[in-house]
Amino acid sequence: MKYATEFRDPKAARAVLARIAQVADVLGATRAKPVHIMEICGGHTHAIFRFGLDKLVHEGVEFIHGPGCPVCVLPMSRVDECVQIAERPEVIFTTFGDAMRVPGTRKSLLQAKAEGADIRMVYSPLDALQLARRNPGREVVFFGLGFETTTPSTALAIQQAAREGLANFSVFCNHITVPEPIKALLDDPHMVLDGFIGPGHVSMVIGTHPYDFIARDYGKPIVVAGFEPLDLLQSVLMVLDQIRDGRAEVENQYARVVPEHGNPVSLAAIADVYERRPSFEWRGLGEIDASGLRIRSAYAAFDAEEKFGVGYAAGPRHVPEPEGCACGAVMTGRIKPTACPQFGRGCTPDMPLGALMVSSEGACSAYWQYGGARATEAAE
């Protein structure tokens, strides 16, 4: 697939690209000694590849693809626990389609479904609620997955279930938060990042202040960005401008959607239903302090971990990642996807070994999908 070259406003895009090049030159950035900018959100990673932005910007600007794809950072242990719950005969297990092909140690949800488990892909936790109302004799479990963008949806669904007294509905909570892994990356001595592109839709929920520590404590610029190619280019320029001026600030390029203080109804629902876990396991990154949410005891009746005695409720456990899988090194920016020995061999989008190959928002999948177009273009 050839990546999109038609911008809504090509003239504006060219102008921003020219200014990016100017500032990059002032900074002395080169291909050998680039400015490293991490886009945190998987949606941004996808857009950067789709529009070929990494090839359009000055060669001294290098994108590092962040951990912001919830499917990609889901550890195998949690997939195993999904399968364990889904294989119970009384359970209807509901999930976003994205999670179906993530490999567990024994099988994926897709394989469990093929073997007879009642697993249904839904669009929304509201669909799971509806299934619970219609199937009072079954246990309907929703696989709660995602960053702060999807967390309000399961919080509101649990509140609704509580109001209705829906005793056969529960959530297997895997919600994670954006700021904590960023802190973990910044604390990693191997990581050399010069600035960040902040997530758009996560920030719509949490606002911009949760990123203050990045500027204040680590002295790095961060710019919250929209999803259009021009949004991303403007945000890159804003990061570079900050570096040139010696500033480190939280800026909001996507103010037309992202309010400074987030969405109050969403934040209230999250605070009512969830609390922080002491730590949560991330694929490739290990356990990160306070990076995951669990359901408060007031809503324990809707917590699948408590109901079925799995996961963190069953005590400490650790499952190693598959042999030869370098997802962790890719996710921390230490190597490019193509440097993984399994890339395109033991691991392809059809038969993924590591999670970064599963989702269209994963760096490996993006390299695979758009790599062909790159090679063709280089030959032209």
Partner 1 sequence: MCLGIPGRIVAITDEARQMAMAEVSGVRREVNVACVLDRPIGALVGEWVLIHVGFAMALIDEDEAARTLDALRDLGEAQEALDAMAEGQRALEGRA
| Interaction site with partner 1 (CB under 8 A) | 4, 8, 41-43, 46-47, 50-51, 68-71, 94, 96-98, 118-127, 130-131, 134, 145-147, 149-150, 152-153, 156, 160, 201-202, 204-205, 227-229, 256-257, 263, 265-266, 269, 360-361
Q: Which is nearer to partner 1, 152 or 221 (CB)?
A: 152
Q: Which is nearer to partner 1, 48 or 327 (CB)?
A: 48
Q: How far is the CB of 31 from partner 1 (least distance, A)?
A: 27
Mark out the alpha helices in 149-228 (DSSP H runs).
151-164, 179-187, 200-206, 212-216
Nearest in space to 101 (alpha carbons), one of 324, 371, 283, 354: 354
Q: How far is the CB of 211 from partner 1 (least distance, A)?
A: 17
Q: How far is the CB of 58 from partner 1 (least distance, A)?
A: 23
Q: Which is nearer to partner 1, 54 or 127 (CB)?
A: 127
Q: How far is the CB of 314 from partner 1 (least distance, A)?
A: 27
Q: How far is the CB of 11 from partner 1 (least distance, A)?
A: 16
Q: Which is nearer to partner 1, 68 or 103 (CB)?
A: 68
Q: How far is the CB of 348 from partner 1 (least distance, A)?
A: 18
Burial per residue of 345-380, b for 16 or more beta-carbon CB atoms within 10 angstroms, e otherwise:
ebbeeeebbbbbbbbbbbbbbbbbbbeeebeeeeee
SS3 call for 147: coil
Q: Which is nearer to partner 1, 204 or 330 (CB)?
A: 204
DSSP string of 79-146, one letter each residue: HHHHHHHHTSTTEEEEE-GGGTT---SS--HHHHHHTT--EEE-S-HHHHHHHHHH-TTSEEEEEEEE
Q: How far is the CB of 294 from partner 1 (least distance, A)?
A: 20
348, 368 contact by CB (below 8 A): yes
* Amino acid letter for position 369: Q
Residue 124 main-chain phi, psi, to 5 deg: -150, 150
Q: Which is nearer to partner 1, 46 or 277 (CB)?
A: 46
Strand partners, 139: 91
Contacts of 40 (CB under 8 A, 6+ apart): 66, 67, 68, 178, 182, 196, 197, 198, 199
Tokens of 87: 């294989």
Q: How far is the CB of 268 from partner 1 (least distance, A)?
A: 10
Q: How far is the CB of 60 from partner 1 (least distance, A)?
A: 26
Q: Which is nearer to partner 1, 242 or 266 (CB)?
A: 266
Q: Which is nearer to partner 1, 154 or 342 (CB)?
A: 154
Q: What is the dihedral of CA 99, 351, 346, 145, to 10 degrees?
A: 0
Question: Which whole-number Å values give the CA distances from 217 to 56, 68, 211, 243, 272, in the listed order?
Answer: 32, 21, 10, 16, 29
Q: Which is nearer to partner 1, 40 or 214 (CB)?
A: 40
DSSP string of 83-102, one letter each residue: HHHHTSTTEEEEE-GGGTT-
Tokens of 340: 């993984």
